[in-house]
Chains A and B, each alone.
Chain A
Amino acid sequence: QQQVKQSPQSLIVQKGGISIINCAYENTAFDYFPWYQQFPGKGPALLIAIRPDVSEKKEGRFTISFNKSAKQFSLHIMDSQPGDSATYFCAASRQGAQKLVFGQGTRLTINP
């Protein structure tokens, strides 16, 4: 049972473009939605997160958009750079539950 579905599996964007990765969740009890970034040979690292009481969260070039009624959230990377090339994971959990459910991951490649 895949509780968090992520798309696309892979994405190629030109330098300076906008990268968009989408996630959909099923469990309406989820109330914490982080995005993790993983470089080859490294563990995932928290990039940005959002709670459902806001529809958007921005940190630098990274923005999460959240649509509670559609049970969807997305990551937007503005002015994408080659250094952003990595695998991105969306995730979800319930507050107080120490279990993050991850999406399948998106391999992002930014062409110079």
Chain B
Amino acid sequence: DTAVSQTPKYLVTQMGNDKSIKCEQNLGHDTMYWYKQDSKKFLKIMFSYNNKELIINETVPNRFSPKSPDKAHLNLHINSLELGDSAVYFCASSQYGSGRWGTGELFFGEGSRLTVL
């Protein structure tokens, strides 16, 4: 049973289009995240939701809009896609106080590779 699942795994689209990525976690965690991994493998947090409430919103263009319908789901909608949006987007979840060191280990999905042409 996949703990954090993202769909789609691959997304190829034209500049200017709008696209969405969906994420679901079955770990019972209260916090979910979106991370962006660029072509150089650099991982950067974009958003974090705790119990459906936005708690972290890094300096991300407002073309990116996360939505959390419930604490098990976090979706990412991107408007007016640009070439620079091409990256792998990772969803992750955590529960503070849980995990091997009680610090809220991050569990990542397998990523959604977005290619903007």
Contact = CB atoms under 8 A, between A and B. Distances in A.
- Classify chain B: how many residues form its interface, as a range: 20 to 34
Interface string B13-35: 00000000000000000010100
A69 B100 CA distance: 26
Contact of A98 (B40, B101, B104): B104
Interface string B93-108: 0101001110111111
Interface in B42-87: 42-45, 48, 50, 55-56
Given A49-B100, A49-B103, A98-B55, A43 B111 contact: yes
Given A98-B104, A104-B42, A105-B42, A46 B99 contact: yes
Contacts of B43: 44, 89, 102, 105
Contact of B4 (A32, A43, A93, A101): A43
B41 A105 contact: yes
Contacts of B44: 102
Interface string A91-112: 0010110111110110100000
A98 B56 contact: yes
A19 interface: no
Contact of A43 (B94, B103, B108): B108
Contacts of A98: 31, 33, 48, 50, 55-56, 94, 96, 104
